Structure 1
């Protein structure tokens, strides 16, 4: 039988978070190895549970979950999301402009499919969450990257963003708080990006799935209230702040001038209808999540598990001779850099594979986030703090071996 030909554009798609290294990890586990997997922000895999009042909301309505619902989501759930955004200052946030999906991932794909013609461009951060690049490519668009440099606190330069705008540019994507860097964008920066979108008539797409996960007084600024009449699509969900990844509940809220975005609204509605509807049971938890008890704040405050895991990463990197770190202000990740002798000839993928094979730790290479530099890796902050410190001890062992080998090579070259 001839082999089945796959789509050519798949060769351009990378998703190392669940890619080759994760497959190798499964093979090692099948051999009986016990791994510490820091490759994915999956709270339930580290003992976190969705809040009890969200679980009760689903259980209390389980008898209502058998039928399909409207393609944009349950009316009560959409009203709860709209009310949440109105409270944030989003003018004109109504249930009719809310789309509920099977996680933000599905809505990213739908939103780009509704927007792009072949060859259209989307401005994306580098580093980015690679689903954004993949969805752009698979919907026949072209990712164009604006840099978020470490020496600028991983914040973008608005002048660079505007310089990348071309006649084919359709949208600017923001990830705030950022995955993988943990950067949180200040209001003044967001206002400048809104001005660029207004000037060039671009759609703003703001991935805000980590909006409640903040440390040391960092302040989250939602984009839509600043955007005003500029069309803006804001993404949120239950997976991270509410630790309910497996429920697959996300939403997107379309704001701005309804006349300017009317056709786009209809296109998203059509694509949502083609997949019938999103997971119904999880939608019954949305109102309780957005308008009920805050359950994330304590985890992010001093003494809370996420805060202390973050502290463990910061202190471990500070104590290491081989690592530097811009402390994450939000989200669930840290993005350390390798420096010094260990960084000479460093390849992030080879390092991640060596760490997995020799130390039973799975991380994600930094270049997997569409970053040109090859000296970074991403870890999640979800393990217990003691385990985080243990992981960084293992990371340092690998980096020390590399540093010794580099010094030996230098010494040999000097003697020769």
Structure 2
């Protein structure tokens, strides 16, 4: 580029090449790509079974107590100022009191660091751990946000597998093999997203013991803990006691849903029941390997070999969106190619409609039907 005097100008800014690949791997960007395949003019409503935000549906509306508290805080004019970076003291105190109910020890407000959502929490935690030469152990499948943040801060990401044959438990032998003197922490997600499992107390105790032996911190990313159903009850991170340093990331606001949860969606929407009533499992066993004990999400294996003109999970999701107006999350973006993530955080009638459309799509593309 030349300036007004005809001399070439060399600008001093440019992209960070090392972050390019990490930035491309985004759940939101992948879902936007899938949604771009939607057929314009389809009169049917779009069924979003790839999202992770139940609050978009009326049946998941939070309690009026939470809404009134926010309105009262705004009208009080007490908080019309720059707030402390770590959170308003009264909010920190309330959260410490609330979380202490599930712990064998009592938290203080100084133990609480408030952020603008879990994404900022990940950013803060990773930046704190980012010393030169350090590495962090991440689950596979997992969230691309962790990889992007570790790359941004110069941490090395090592991946341990979650074992589908064992209900997506952590491969603790792999964790032991990966960890070294430079390992700063390991990340666990419980209840799990994207797999939908809930770790048992015994398995969490084994995780805690492994972390203690290796001398590494545990970053516990909790997802929708009170929107969980399945055989295993949600186990608070207090199982780790005080012998293992634990940083817990999560959205406390989701817990405001508790007062009415047994009377609402979860009481009437048992995924096993819907699978049984619609005979979804029986008709889909050739195409999808489905666990019948999901939580808010379920991760299913796609059998591409049984489908005509379907190359992989991305292709499956794109064509499903075009032909049936159903959105699923491809497993590739989560670290598992030819897997699919399906959410149950949606109203029951839409879930049944979406499952019926997936069934029709698979049967239409079945090689046996050609």
Q: Give 1:7's match in structure 2, choosing from 10, 16, 34.
A: 16
| 2:46–2:327 contact (8 Å) kept in structure 1 | yes
The alignment status of 1:367 with 2:329, answered yes or no, reads no
Shift in Å, 1:238 = 3.9
Query: How far apart in 1 are the matches of 2:133 and 2:262?
Result: 43
Q: Would you say 1:133 and 2:147 are equivalent positions?
A: yes
CA distance in 2, matches of 1:328, 1:120: 37
Structure 1 pair 170/313, CA: closer, same or farther in 2 (3 Å)? farther
Which residue of structure 2 aligns with residue 385 of structure 1?
348
Q: Tell me the alpha carbon deviations over residues 159-214 of structure 1, each in whole angstroms, 9 at most, x when there is no partner.
A: 22212212321101110000011111111211121122222221110011322222
- What corresponds to 1:184 in structure 2? 198
Residues 14, 381 of structure 1: alpha-carbon distance in 2 compared, 3 angstrom cutoff:
farther
Label 1:110 to 1:147 Cα distance change in 2 as closer, same or farther (>3 A).
same
Within the candidate set 13, 17, 25, 2:35 is matched to: 25
Does 1:237 pair with 2:251? yes
1:398 aligns with 2:361: yes
Equivalent residue in structure 2 for 1:46, among 37, 43, 57: 57
1:319 aligns with 2:283: yes
SS of 1:294 mapped into structure 2? helix
* Cα offsets for 1:83-136 (capped at 9, x unmatched): 122221242511011001101111111101111135422111111133223222
Q: Is the 8 A contact 1:176 1:207 kept in 2?
A: yes
Residue equivalent to 1:273: none
Query: How far apart in 2 are the matches of 1:181 and 1:391?
Result: 19
Q: How does 1:70-149 map to 2 (within 5 A)?
A: 70-149=84-163
Q: Do 1:17 and 1:40's aligned partners in 2 also have CA atoms closer than 8 Å?
A: no
2:260 aligned residue:
295
1:57 and 2:22 aligned: no
Between the aligned partners of 1:44 and 1:221, the Cα distance in structure 2 is 23
Cα distance, 1:386–1:242 mapped onto 2, change above 3 Å: same
Aligned residue in 1 for 2:233: 219
Post-superposition shift, 1:32? 5.0
Q: Provide the TM-score with structure 1 as the length reference.
A: 0.76
Distance in 1, matches of 2:224 and 2:313, equals 26
Q: Which string of whole-angstrom CA distances, capped at 9 and with x for unpartnered residues, describes residues 203-256 of structure 1?
A: 11001132222224521112244241321101221454446xxxxxxxxxxxxx
Which residue in 2 is equivalent to 1:276? none
2: CA distance between counterparts of 1:130 and 1:302? 32
Distance 1:227 1:235, change over 3 A: same
SS of the residue aligned with 1:191?
Answer: helix
- CA distance in 2 between counterparts of 1:400 and 1:119 reads 51
In 2: Cα distance, 1:343 partner to 1:28 partner: 20
RMSD: 2.8
Give the superposition deviation at 1:28: 4.6
Q: Which residue does the alignment assign to 2:299?
A: 335
Task: Assess, with a 3 A threshold, how the Cα gap between structure 1 residues 6 and 242 changes in structure 2: closer, same or farther.
Answer: farther
Structure 2 length normalisation: TM-score? 0.85
Q: Give the conservation status (yes or no) of the 8 Å contact 2:204–2:239.
A: no
Say which of 15, 36, 39 aligns to 2:47: 36
